[in-house]
Every structure is written in C-alpha cells, then in structure tokens.
C-alpha cells in the first residue's frame, strides 16, 4: 500500500537491533486518517473470508484493528496484557515474547468474547517473528475459534514471521513489506 | 447520547465498588460502529474549539480517541503507561491512580509529539474521579500545550470528576452521564 510505504520511508526511523520506530504515525501518535485507509484496505483484502470478529493485541494493534473492524462491520477484541479486575477468573492466557519490551508478556482473553465456532481475523501493527500473532492464534484455538486470516500493517520479511504462520494455511497480508533495513535504508518488497 | 446509554443499560454490568463493566463494547471487546458514532458526536460537540491534537491514555481511551480524531481530521496521541524502547530518555511523565488496577500508574508522553502551543482535546472512556484526565492535563501543560476540551464516553457524576476539572474552565462533555448505580440500577442524568 503506497500511502503507508511512503509514510514509513519519510517518517520511520531505524533504531538498530531490527527496531523500526513508527511512533509518529502508528505507535504513540496515530495518524487517524492513515489508519482508516489501512483498515479499509484490510477490509477489502479480507472481505470474502466471512470473519465474525477481528482480534488483536493491546496496545498498538488496537488502532488498525478498530478501523478494519469498522469497515467490515465487525466487533474487535483486543487481548489484554494484564488482567483487569473486570475480567472473570477463568481466562484464556498465553505467553509471547515482546520484541520492544525485551521480555515475555501475557496475552489474555476473556471467554466471554471469543466463542466456539467464531471466524477470527487477526490484525496487528507488525509482522516480525510472528510470535505475538501465534500467541493470538493459540488463544483463538483454545476458545474453539477458527483463524481465517492475518493482516499486519508492516511486515519485516527478514524476521521469518510469514514462514512461522505458513502451517496455518490461511491468507497473510501486509500493507508494507520491508525486505531490508541494512545500512539504515528501508527497502520494500517489489521496489 | 441515546445509543450509548441504551447499550450501557443493556450490556453494562455493575460489579460493586463503583465499577461499571463495559468490556463487551468498550474495554475488551469494542463495538467499532458504536465507537465511530461516539467519535462523530464528540467531533460535532468540539468542532469549534480549533483543537490541533487529540490526547488520550492507553489502553481503553484509544478507541474513542481514534474515532474522534478521525472525524476531526486530527492526529491522536496516547500516553503510554510503560516507556517503550523507541521512546527517548527525556519524556513527560506523571503518576495517576488507576481505579481498575488499584494502584498508581505512570502516564508518559514523548516531547516529540506534544508541542508548545498545541491545542489539545482530551478524550477518554470514563470520567470518574478525573484523576487520569488531570494526569493528561499535567502532561500537556508540561509540554506548553493548551487543553481546550475534555470528552468522556461515560461519566459517573457521583465520583466528582467534573468538579475536579472545573478549575480548567474548559468544556467537559460526556456522552452518557450516570448519576447513580445504587441497588444495581443504572440511572442516567435527565432520565
């Protein structure tokens, strides 16, 4: 998606250690209009999957998941990383490594909002190693839900996430696919 | 706002201790369409303030702040509760008590995304004691920004938040104003 690629090229910052900082439009400050366009694009790409729910992980997945859900006319559930007091004692919980936090984090979903038989579209900001998304997949499977697709705003193809998701046999779409950040230069797939 | 009040009346759960659980449409599962309508309503009510940025706190403020920002054509910044590695060492940080977490939480904003002279509209999910919103006000003031308005999806009038914000002398709008939850019954202002 050209608009997102251009924004990453102009405003993304490579911090080293494979970290791409997009805090000015995705992660801390959010460009609402860009997120809406990304959500529309995801909705078009995944329109035929018959998803019944969008699933993401707090915090930075919320914005693209919400706009995607809006364009698909679906509710969105975001997995929590700490259990709020409003959540029942019995939950679906898994652990996933966080790249930007440098430690394992919990991903928690209440059984109230993910039911057996639901068709789940996962949307997140990054597809890197795929660890967070695989955590969401485990939670959905624990609930007896079926994952029908995975969408990420930004894929770093050199971190292996797509291969890690391959066994799921479902469509995986990214709106900006980065093949290299070597030497401080961002190269997109196909350019 | 009738749509939100009806949803709270139908799907909100009073958990005791002044906690209103709205996890099925605001806090864990999000009704994207309802959030969009709420964002549109905020955008209309605050249209004339000349805001340059929407500000909220992660996590549950993100959805209504994003849809408000979308309808106003503005970017949104969400204060972080833990400092990610992408954030510079020098930040604006304040502490605020979290009702649902039962402890103090940090609210952190990078100086990169809140500038001197900006006109800030604060949007959050709840206005209860006003503690989180006052934390955001302190951060904005530290940045030399001006708060021009405060919007909350749900106000609990019996917790004093509106009085706490009164000294700011700015418009405070809530879309559903709850005057009592006594005896397990939710009473809205004006009904």
CB contact under 8 A, B75 and A35: no
Question: For B173, what's the count of Cα atoms within 13 Å in the CB-facing half-sphere?
Answer: 20
Residue A160 predicted with pLDDT over 80: yes
Q: What's the pLDDT tens digit per position in B100-156?
A: 677 899 999 999 999 999 999 999 999 999 999 999 999 999 999 999 999 999 999
Per-residue confidence (pLDDT) for residue A18, from 0 to 100? 85
Overall pTM > 0.90: yes
Grade residue A140 by pLDDT with cuts at 50, 70 and 90: very high
Grade residue A190 by pLDDT with cuts at 50, 70 and 90: confident
Pick the residue from chain B with its C-alpha nearest to A75: B31
> Residue A107: CB partners within 8 Å, gap ≥ 6?
A57, A79, A80, A81, A93, A94, A95, A96, A132, A135, A136, A139
Per-residue confidence (pLDDT) for residue B101, from 0 to 100? 73
Other C-beta atoms closer than 10 Å to the C-beta of B173 total 17
User: A84: which chain B residues are within 8 Å (Cβ-Cβ)?
Assistant: 23, 27-28, 100-101
Q: Which of B17, B26, B86, B140 to mutate to test the interface with A (most CBs of A within 10 A)?
A: B86
Q: What's the pLDDT tens digit per position in B48-106?
A: 999 999 999 999 999 999 999 999 999 999 999 999 989 999 999 999 998 767 789 99
Nearest chain A CA: its distance from B77 CA (Å): 4
What mean pLDDT value characterizes chain B?
Answer: 96
Q: How much is the average pLDDT of A53-63?
A: 97
Picking from A190, A167, A165, the residue whose alpha carbon sits closest to that of residue A178 is A190
Q: Which of A11, A20, A22, A30 to mutate to test the interface with B (most CBs of B within 10 A)?
A: A30
- CB-count exposure of residue A13 (10 Å: 0-12, 13-18, 19+): middle
CB contact under 8 A, A76 and B28: no
Round to whole Å and give the CA distance between B78 and B32.
18
Grade residue A78 by pLDDT with cuts at 50, 70 and 90: very high
- For A70, which of B36, B73, B86 is closest by C-beta distance? B36
Residue B18 predicted with pLDDT over 90: no
Q: Which of A70, A77, A123 to mutate to test the interface with B (most CBs of B within 10 A)?
A: A70
Round to whole Å and give the CA distance between A8 and A25.
9
Q: How much is the average pLDDT of A63-69?
A: 98
| A40 bridge partner residues | none
> Residue A53: CB partners within 8 Å, gap ≥ 6?
A74, A75, A76, A77, A114, A118, A119, A120, A121, A145
Q: How much is the average pLDDT of B4-18?
A: 94
> Residue B190: CB partners within 8 Å, gap ≥ 6?
B177
User: B30: which chain A residues are within 8 Å (Cβ-Cβ)?
Assistant: 62, 66, 69, 75-78
Q: Measured between alpha carbons, how far is residue A166 from residues A30, A115, A150, A178 in Å?
A: 30, 24, 11, 18
With a pLDDT cut of 90, the percent of chain B lying above it is 93
SS3 label, residue A142: helix
Least confident range of A128-132, A172-176, B1-5, B82-86: B82-86
Round to whole Å and give the CA distance between B171 and B159.
18
Q: Give the residue, B22 or B190, on which the prediction is more confident.
A: B22
Q: Which of B14, B20, B84 to mutate to test the interface with A (most CBs of A within 10 A)?
A: B84
Q: What's the pLDDT tens digit per position in A97-139?
A: 987 677 899 999 999 999 999 999 999 999 999 999 999 999 9
Per-residue confidence (pLDDT) for residue B99, from 0 to 100? 73
Cα A62 from chain centre:
9
Q: What's the pLDDT tens digit per position in B162-177?
A: 999 999 999 999 999 9
Buried b (16+ CB within 10 A) or exposed e, B16-44: eeebbbbbbbbbbbbbbbbbbbbbbbbbe
> Could you write out the three-class secondary structure of A87-138?
CCCCCEEEEEEECCCCEEEEEEECHHHCCCCCEEEEEEEEECCCHHHHHHHH
CB contact under 8 A, B23 and A113: yes
Round to whole Å and give the CA distance between A165 and A132.
11
Query: Is cis: bond before A59, omega within 30 of 0?
Result: yes
H helix or E strand, kind and range, residue A72: helix A62-72
H helix or E strand, kind and range, residue B156: strand B146-156
Nearest chain B CA: its distance from A172 CA (Å): 23
Residues of A with CB under 8 A from a CB of B: 15, 19, 21, 23-25, 27-33, 35-36, 54, 58-59, 62-63, 66-67, 69-70, 73-78, 80, 82, 84-87, 100-102, 109-110, 112-113
CB contact under 8 A, A24 and B112: yes
Per-residue confidence (pLDDT) for residue A98, from 0 to 100? 83
Give, as one character, the DSSP assignment of residue A157.
G
Per-residue confidence (pLDDT) for residue B41, from 0 to 100? 98
Round to whole Å and give the CA distance between A9 and B173.
39
Q: Measured between alpha carbons, how far is residue A169 from residues A68, A127, B105 in Å?
A: 22, 16, 41
Q: What's the pLDDT tens digit per position in A39-51?
A: 999 999 999 999 9
Round to whole Å and give the CA distance between A13 and B188.
47
Radius of gyration of chain B (CA): 16
CB contact under 8 A, A15 and B113: no
């Amino acid at each position: 998606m050209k608009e997102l690629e251009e924004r990453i090229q102009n405003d993304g910052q490579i911090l080293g250690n494979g970290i791409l900082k997009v805090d000015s439009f995705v992660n801390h400050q959010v460009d609402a209009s860009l997120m809406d366009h990304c959500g529309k694009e995801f909705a078009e790409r995944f329109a035929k999957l018959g998803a019944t729910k969008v699933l993401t992980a707090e915090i930075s997945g919320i914005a693209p998941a919400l706009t995607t859900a809006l364009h698909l006319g679906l509710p969105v559930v975001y997995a929590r990383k700490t259990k709020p007091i409003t959540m029942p004692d019995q939950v679906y919980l898994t652990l996933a490594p966080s790249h930007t936090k440098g430690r394992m984090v919990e991903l928690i979903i209440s059984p109230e909002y993910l039911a057996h038989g639901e068709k789940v579209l996962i949307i997140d900001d990054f597809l890197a190693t795929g660890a967070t998304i695989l955590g969401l997949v485990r939670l959905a499977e624990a609930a007896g839900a079926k994952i029908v697709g995975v969408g990420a705003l930004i894929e770093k193809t050199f971190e292996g996430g797509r291969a890690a998701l391959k066994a799921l046999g479902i469509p995986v779409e990214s709106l900006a696919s980065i093949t290299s950040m070597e030497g401080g230069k961002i190269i997109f797939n196909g350019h």
